Each structure stands twice: as structure tokens, then as C-alpha cells.
Amino acid sequence: MKMMVLHGSPRKNGNSDMLTDYFLKGMREIGDAELDHVYVNDLRIRSCQGCLFWTLKASY
């Protein structure tokens, strides 16, 4: 099973981070799980600028 946790808190090692770690630990103990823990605050997310770049790429 594949799971991804999107962690939105800007503070690492806070309460929600601790709860997430307990959750992921429990999921690992259950069995065969592929887990990702993504800190959304660490990502560089930019809004669409309407450049139509995606039209040039066949993979989109």
C-alpha cells in the first residue's frame, strides 16, 4: 500500500509532527507500506502564470 502524508505545519518537530510520526510508525508495523512524508512548507509552489509551457511538453 502506498501512503503520502502532506504535512502543512510550518513548525517541524511540533505536536502535529509528533502525531504524524506515531501514525507512520504504526503504519510501518502493520505491514508492507510505502510511505512518504512531505513537508508542504518546504516546497516551492508557484501559481500558474498562463505561459502555456505545458503545451510544449508531451509528458503533461
| Percentage, residues of the chain above pLDDT 90 | 15
Query: Which residues, 6+ apart, have CB-to-CB distance to 43 below 8 Å?
Result: none
| pLDDT digits (tens), the chain, 60 positions | 888 999 888 888 899 989 999 998 998 888 788 888 899 989 988 888 888 887 787 665
pLDDT at 19: 92
pTM: 0.61
Find the helix or strand (DSSP H, E) in which 17 lies: helix 15-30
**For position 57, what pLDDT does the model report?**
72
- Strands, DSSP E only, in 1-60? 2-7, 34-39
